[in-house]
Amino acid sequence: MAVPKRKQSNSRTGKRRSHHFIRPKQLQPCPRCSEPKPSHVVCPNCGYYMGREMVKMGE
């Protein structure tokens, strides 16, 4: 069974984990209502996606 010969340093562990952070959601303005929304998602304000109405929103 393979076992590490020496303890990995805190610096080396931190370098490995440097990419494990959470990135914020990228928001884009909706082309129809100009409200910020995540890309590739139906707009929660107007219900449109790719120029078509996907969800009927109550006025």
What's the pTM value of the predicted model, to 2 decimals?
Answer: 0.57
Place of tokens 């303005």: 29
Q: Is the pLDDT of residue 35 over 80?
A: yes
Within 13 Å, how many C-alpha atoms sit on residue 35's CB side?
A: 11
Domain ranges in the chain are 26-59
Whole-angstrom Cα distance, residue 31 to residue 14? Answer: 41
Q: What percent of the chain has pLDDT over 90?
A: 75
Q: Kindly report the average pLDDT of the chain as a whole number.
A: 92
pLDDT tens for 8-23 read 999 999 999 999 999 9
What are the two backbone dihedrals, phi and then psi, of residue 28, each rounded to the nearest 5 degrees?
A: -125, 150
Return the pLDDT at 1: 87
